[in-house]
Homo-oligomer: A and B are copies of this chain.
Amino acid sequence: MRVTGFPLFTSREIPADAEIISHQLMLRAGLIARLGAGLYTWLPLGLRVLRNVERVVREEMDRIGSLEVLMPAVQPAELWQESGRWEQYGPELLRLKDRHAREFCFGPTHEEVITDLVRREIHSYRQLPVTYYQIQTKFRDEIRPRFGVMRAREFLMKDAYSFHLDQASLEATYRAMHAAYSRIFQRLNLDFRAVRADTGAIGGSVSEEFHVLADSGEDAIAVCRHCNYAANTELAQSRPAPPRQEPQRAAQEQPTPDIRTVAEQAQMLGLTPDRIVKSIVVLADGKPAVLFLAGDDELNLTKARSALDAGEVRLAEPEEAQAATGVPRGFIGPKGLPEELTVRVDERAAAIPNFSSGSNRQDWHWIDLNWGRDAALPERADLRTVRSGEGCPSCAGSLQIKRGIEVGHVFQLGAKYSESMDARVLNEHGDQVPMIMGCYGIGVSRVVAAAIEQNHDERGIIWPTPLAPFQVAIVSINAHRSEAVHNEAERLHEALGAAGLEPLWDDREARPGVKFADMELIGIPHRLVISDRGLSAGTVEYRGRSEPTSRHLPCERVVEFLRDLHQEV
């Protein structure tokens, strides 16, 4: 492709309303153009990247026997009423009425539509299992769309749905889908992790998220440096440290006037925070509970919700804490707390001998308390957020906290939709049983933005080769004045194209600096510079997008060189 026939819409200016780097670079490189809030047109350059993602996703879906369909974007309200989601789904569901005032929505997802299709077409266990997928436009009416295509309202998604007679069959497909997702992100050369995810309100179901690692990611995830363990920090656990072995000392109460924080308490009593048991009052579905954690640990509300079996858990305000315990904030502790209060102790706090904590009276703290002897050991639970450097729960390695961008999700749905929508099959015994379902999504357009968050520098995008809109940039210097340069550029353009290397020849009459900057901004992995000076020595200058220096290749070796590089990938 020649730039004169493939106009670039690059810009040096950083768009004012683009907060994150991928959004800035996608606008500056002319991959997308904004139509309205959360609505973007994919320009020719960006669409080539999007199609690269689509192609890899499609190939891997086909490879595991998933069957491609294309469902309508506009979905009848009746189906969502059947599943109960017409009421449950908030204002993110874009509802609309047709000319006859019948209600529809612009689908944010297709569980209802596919379940309706399958209950009409599939009636016997012999037709199971089956998996359908589509790559299709979705709409989610975000209250504050931002970050470009990362959190757009209209976006491209691969959604897949599997149907099974039983859980074992679901698990087999789930594993195949998991492996396919891993291959997809590997083939796209992205640094990613499959992360155990909180399944939220739907208890018991298994779910994993696929995250592209990037410093700007919205989610914190704990990943092992050695094995595949990765979990959202909402869920992640670490290997318990061996318990401290020491003789119990006699408990003593100490005056601690105006001491309210762990740091103040540690300093005044000459302790490290890991010898302190702090007491946190929360309201679990409105009911107070006291949680004991090590002084240097952070309470994890998702874990607290699970430990207290509550729908919602929040920190109590100081007055609420005092009302529940009768003790001013900063001085609550396990010894002497009213017995009717719900209490839990984190595993790590439960293992601290000779600990310090509040005395349940103002301006006093205990030191050298011991569980069992001085205060009953409450029910133990995992309440803390893991920290970087702690031991991996799956291997002997250690954890690191990384940030990730969710680009995929695999989910064992169970019978949620098939029961509410009465999607049943006859089993081997002639009984009507609800089908068991899985669902699996990839944010196709979001993958493009995530790849940029992970791969860029101050000059622009650095595409992983499989995503690049073009593989090789050919920059001809003064080709309009030098026939030799023009001819060699044309020859290489043709030869590289024939070799399947997708060249983009910047054949504009522009200054070399402008061309270099553009090719770097749009992130083409390989760059060839063709100039009279080089040609007089029979060479062409090559530089990889992230390499600091150039090298000179003999003209006749260029195609072979690039083909070899390409095949390594």
Contact = CB atoms under 8 A, between A and B. Distances in A.
Given A41-B69, A98-B94, A35 B76 contact: yes
B143 A99 contact: yes
A47 interface: yes
A74 B154 contact: yes
A559 to B, nearest CB: 23
Contact of A73 (B5, B7, B44, B73): B73
B96 A96 contact: yes
A41 B5 contact: no
Interface in A66-115: 67-76, 91-92, 94, 96-99, 104, 106, 113
Given A75-B35, A120-B33, A70 B47 contact: yes
Interface in A112-162: 113, 116-117, 120-121, 127, 130, 132, 137, 139, 141, 143, 153-154
A121 B9 contact: yes
Contacts of A127: 7
A55 to B, nearest CB: 13
A424 to B, nearest CB: 18
Contacts of A97: 96
B113 A74 contact: no
Interface residues of A, number: 49
A121 B117 CA distance: 43
A99 B69 contact: no
Nearest to A66: B44
B43 A106 contact: no
A430 interface: no
Contact of A67 (B44, B71, B76): B44
Nearest to A91: B99
A70 B5 CA distance: 18
A371 to B, nearest CB: 51
A6 interface: yes
Nearest to A95: B96
B154 A73 contact: yes
Interface in A1-55: 5-7, 9, 33, 35-36, 39-44, 47, 50
Nearest to A143: B99
B91 A35 contact: no
A44 B68 contact: yes
Contact of A41 (B42, B44, B117): B117
A65 interface: yes
Contacts of A116: 35
B75 A50 contact: no
Contacts of A113: 35, 41
A50 B73 contact: no
Given A35-B116, A91-B99, A127-B7, A153 B67 contact: no
Contacts of A96: 94, 96-97, 106
B70 A42 contact: yes
B74 A106 contact: yes
B94 A69 contact: no
Contact of A50 (B47, B50, B70): B70
Nearest to A114: B41
A222 B97 CA distance: 41
A222 to B, nearest CB: 35
Contact of A69 (B42, B69, B153): B42
A71 B41 contact: yes
A73 B143 contact: no
A36 B73 CA distance: 12
A162 to B, nearest CB: 14
A39 B74 contact: yes
Contact of A71 (B35, B141, B143, B153): B35
Contacts of A141: 98-99
Contact of A72 (B35, B71, B94, B99): B35
Interface string A331-360: 000000000000000000000000000000
Contacts of A106: 73-74, 96, 106
Interface in A192-242: none
Contacts of A121: 9, 33
A143 B98 CA distance: 10
A516 B76 CA distance: 37
A97 B106 CA distance: 11
A43 B65 contact: no
11 contacts: A7-B130, A33-B121, A36-B72, A36-B76, A36-B104, A39-B74, A44-B69, A44-B132, A73-B154, A94-B98, A96-B97
Given A5-B65, A73-B137, A74-B106, 6 more contacts: A43-B69, A47-B68, A50-B70, A72-B154, A94-B96, A96-B96
User: Which 6 pairs between the two chains have the least Cβ-Cβ distance?
Assistant: A96-B96, A42-B70, A91-B99, A44-B67, A39-B72, A36-B76
